[in-house]
Amino acid sequence: MVGLEKVDLKAIKLEKGYVGEGVQEENRRKAQQAEVRKSGTQSKRQESEETRSLNALSTGQSNSIVLEQGQPPVDDSGISFASTICPAPLCRQFWKAGNYDDGLNSETTLQNGKSYLHVHPMFLHSNATSHKWAFGAIAELIDNAVDEIQNGATFVIVDKTLNPRDQSPALVIQDNGGGMDPEAIRRCMSFGFSDKKSKAAIGQYGNGFKTSTMRLGADVIVFSCHLGDRVMTQSIGLLSYTFLTQTGHDRIVVPMVDYELNTSTGNMEISHRYDKEYFMSNLSMLLRWSPYSTEAELLKQFDDIGSHGTKVIIYNLWFSDDGNVELDFDTDPEDIRIGGDVKKVQANPAWRTVNEQHIANRLHYSLRAYLSILYLKIPETFTIVLRGQLVEHRNLVLDLKFQEFIVYRPQTGGCKEAEVLTTIGFLKEAPHVTAHGFNIYHKNRLILPFWPVVSYADSRGRGVVGVLEANFVEPTHNKQDFERTSLFQKLEGRLKEMTWEYWDYHCGLIGYQVKKKLPPIEPPQDSPPGMPNSSKMKHVALNLGMPNGGKTKPVTLNQNHHSVSVKAASAAGLSSKRKEHGDLNKVERMKRRAGTRADAHNLEIQSSSTANQLMDKETMNLIQENKKLHAKCLEHEKRREDLDLKVRQLRRELGDVQQEYDRLMVELTSLDTVKEEEHGQGGSSVYRILSMFSVDVNMHDAN
């Protein structure tokens, strides 16, 4: 690690009046006086610097990024350089960019007799491979903005911007949430830290920002503005895979700078957490490897953020196999696509267009389609803006016809989880669409879209779609699947049953042939072998009062031929090939009695059928009533959410008013230097205005 005194600031372009100007001359003088130290001295200084950095990290008081603070590269004279051109990564294809040689023999470093490990830059790439799908990585960054709704966020912007160095396309994602203070942005760029303690928060592992940004591009720069405890800060951080690979680092180094508003002067100044040399060292690396070559250009990025919010710019985007940028900004000026080609669907040519344009297929290549269903519910006060146009929220439940509501009660280890309401039905376009499956959300976030739990054969299950929110199972780290636990496997089995049951009862509503499965009937145990249609014989027990001790003789009714076959056994269990005349009369009487019993049985079946029809009618009435109650429940939940949002908005407005009141009071106390005889009247007026303002604030608080 190069010493701080060797930092050269000649290549850093500072505008007059910016915060780095006051220390430029001093650092230039020190840099010019610096000489190349002997290798032993450099090694000793490097060990000292690493020791100080790691000790500070262990106590949580480091001024550098939480992994390790590096220094700008140097030439043979020991002077650092900052070129105006930021080179692109050596390999522009994501799946091939993980192989590089840092030229160093990275070994475990000894510190105070103990070994400690470094995080190699290759980990950034391998960690990002959890995202197989680029839209899944974008969704991770959208989740961070949605989690900021509780901190006042009202929008998130996803758009294309240009890298000012080479005019290449870059992806920008910006929200107006609470922003991150210097400590929070360091936790954001570290691994495993998460400030999201709310049960409703989507993120929980503290790894999504790194995996998602590195999956989309080789480099990312973050601008965040935070206002808290009457202190306004602006922080800038750079996570650059290009910087790390091309400079041969064997550990992850993230340059960062922080500014703080001086309330007395109204200007942004270097944060007190820095010394001047440290600040200029980080600024030098930012201007060398970020898209912005001057401090003025860096600070200009805060102009559209305001007093709070975060802007993420991902540049040096990865290329696809065809040599073009993976994210397609040109096919549709109001969308971002992958590949730009419509997915071909195996379907009837007459309905192929309908299938290809259905949301179930468009979400795979259209970001606008995917974002429209990414969240089960979204507050009316929050909007997603893609390429300058609002993304219309789409409730997949409203795309279903012949809906049914099924309650699923998961159980594990003898404990019952919360009930899950599943809405199932046919797509409105059925039977002309081939899409089917379940859309499973977790904490309001879509995890599995149109998950085909069954592969339909003979069209069984085709067009059947379900929607549910399963918070009792945990998603994987990339939020594109669930952990395959026993609890999830039970859910999968139940969803299969739901699909088949729904299809068997409702397929006739959309034109498919109803295939009713009759329950199997066991053949009579004493029917002779080789009897035709023996599987359809019905066993009827008749007590004919015969002189054999009242034993019942089995009579089998052949339903196909409406004939009666009687097997009469002798008292000794022997059968006779010839029958006497009296026996024939007995058989005829048995036939007549069996026929009477069969008629009675048919009447019983008809009565049972009528009762079943009445029960079906009652069931339909209950289903309709259930739908009405469900709709009312949704309406009440929506009203409750609206009221909660209104309360939070009023509290924010009240806080803003209170801050304005405090500011005016500070200005008022600073007027004591004004002569009383010249401005007495004016001062009294100001006091009266502030008194009225205080009364209004108190009344507003009371309301």
Residue 68 confidence (pLDDT): 46
Name the one residue in this structure whose structure tokens are 């559209």.
304
Question: What DSSP string describes 306-358?
Answer: TTSEEEEEEEEEPB-TTSSBSEE-SS-TT--EESSPPPP--S-GGGHHHHHTS
Which segment of 257-261, 278-282, 608-612 scores lowest on mean pLDDT?
608-612
Residue 304 confidence (pLDDT) above 90: yes
* Predicted pLDDT of residue 635: 84
Strand pairing class (437-442; 415-416) = unpaired
Asked if residues 143 and 203 have their Cβ atoms less than 8 Å apart, the reply is yes
Q: How many whole angstroms separate alpha carbon 656 and alpha carbon 664?
A: 12
Query: If you compute the radius of gyration of the chain from its CA atoms, what whole number of angstroms results?
Result: 38
Provide mean pLDDT across the span 86-104. 60
Give me the percent of the chain exceeding a pLDDT of 90: 40
- With a CB cutoff of 8 Å and minimum separation 6, the contacts of 39 are none
Range name among 371-375, 411-415, 506-510, 652-656 with the lowest pLDDT average: 411-415
**pLDDT band (50, 70, 90) for residue 615:** low
The DSSP 8-state label assigned to residue 80 in this structure reads B
Helices and strands of the chain, counted as H and E runs: 15, 23
Could you report the per-residue pLDDT of 509-537, keeping only the tens digit for each?
999 888 765 454 454 444 444 444 433 33
Least trusted range by pLDDT, from 63-72, 295-304, 308-317: 63-72
Q: How high is the pLDDT of residue 526?
A: 42
> Taking the C-alpha atoms of 671, 676, 680 and 685 in order, what is their torsion angle to the nearest 10 degrees?
20
Question: What does pLDDT average to over the chain?
Answer: 74
Of 639, 627, 235, 136, give the one whose Cα is nearest residue 421.
627
For residues 648-660, give the mean pLDDT.
86
Please tell me the predicted confidence (pLDDT) of residue 223. 98
* ∠ CA 356-359-363, rounded to 5°: 95
- Report the half-sphere exposure of 377 (CA within 13 A, side-chain side): 11
Cα(392)–Cα(596) distance, integer angstroms: 68
pLDDT of residue 96: 65
Q: Cβ distance 176 to 155 under 8 Å?
A: yes
pLDDT in the model for residue 46: 42
Interval 449-463: pLDDT, tens: 999 999 877 788 999
Q: How far apart are CA 285 and CA 243, in angstroms?
A: 9
Q: Which residues contact residue 127 at a Cβ distance below 8 angstroms, ignoring those fewer than 6 apart?
A: 191, 207, 210, 211, 214
String of b and e for 102-139 (b: at least 16 CB within 10 Å)?
beeeeeebeeeeeeeebebbbbbbebbebbeebbbbbb
Q: Which helix (H) or strand (E) holds 115?
A: strand 114-116
Distance, in Å, from the CA atom of 81 to the CA atom of 94, rounded to the nearest integer, reads 28
In eight-state DSSP terms, residue 418 is -
Name the residue with higher pLDDT: 604 or 267. Answer: 267
C-alpha distances in Å from residue 41, one per residue of 1, 3, 62, 105, 703: 12, 10, 24, 21, 68
Give dist(CA 50, CA 69) in Å, integer.
9
Residues 266-301: b if buried by 16+ CB within 10 A, e if exposed: eebebbebbeebbbbbbbbbbbbbbbbbebeebbeb
CB 203 within 8 A of CB 295: no
Cα-based distances in Å from 274 to 124, 188, 253, 262:
27, 20, 17, 15
Hey, what are 372's tokens? Answer: 């429209």
The SS3 of residue 262 is strand
- Say yes or no to pLDDT of 112 above 50: no
**Mean pLDDT for the stretch of residues 582-594:** 50
Distance of alpha carbon 58 from alpha carbon 119, whole angstroms: 16
Q: What are phi and psi of 414, to 5 degrees?
A: 80, -5
Q: What is the mean pLDDT of residues 204-229?
A: 87
**474-507 pLDDT tens trace:** 999 889 999 999 999 999 999 999 999 999 999 9
Residue 416's DSSP bridge partners are 411
Q: pTM above 0.75?
A: no
Three-state DSSP string of 373-391: CCECCCCCCCEEEECCEEC
- Cis amide prior to 291 (ω within 30 degrees): no
Q: Does residue 207 have a pLDDT over 60?
A: yes
At residue 522, the 3 state secondary structure works out as coil
Predicted pLDDT of residue 342: 54
Which residues 6+ apart lie within 8 Å of 700 measured at CB?
654, 657
Q: Cα–Cα distance between 470 and 446 in angstroms, integer?
A: 10
Give the residue among 146, 165, 277 at the shortest CA–CA distance from 221: 165
pLDDT, tens only, 380-401: 999 999 999 999 999 999 999 9
Q: What is the structure's pLDDT at 351? A: 77
578: three-class secondary structure by DSSP: coil
Determine the pLDDT at residue 148. Answer: 95
Say yes or no to pLDDT of 549 above 70.
no
pLDDT, one tens digit per residue, over 680-694 is 555 555 555 555 555
Per DSSP, the residues of 422-480 read EEEEEETTTTS----EEEEEETTEEEEEEE-SS--STTTTTTEEEEEE-TTS-B-TTSS
At 502, which amino acid appears? Y
The string of pLDDT tens digits covering residues 16-71 is 445 544 444 444 444 444 443 444 444 444 444 433 443 333 333 333 343 444 44
Q: Is residue 202 within 8 Å of 146, Cβ to Cβ?
A: yes
In 10 A of CB 229, how many CB atoms?
7
- Exposure of 318 by Cβ count < 10 A (0-12 exposed, 13-18 middle, 19+ buried)? buried
Distance from CA of residue 200 to its chain's centroid? 12
Three-state DSSP at 256 gives strand
220 close to 189: Cβ distance less than 8 angstroms: no
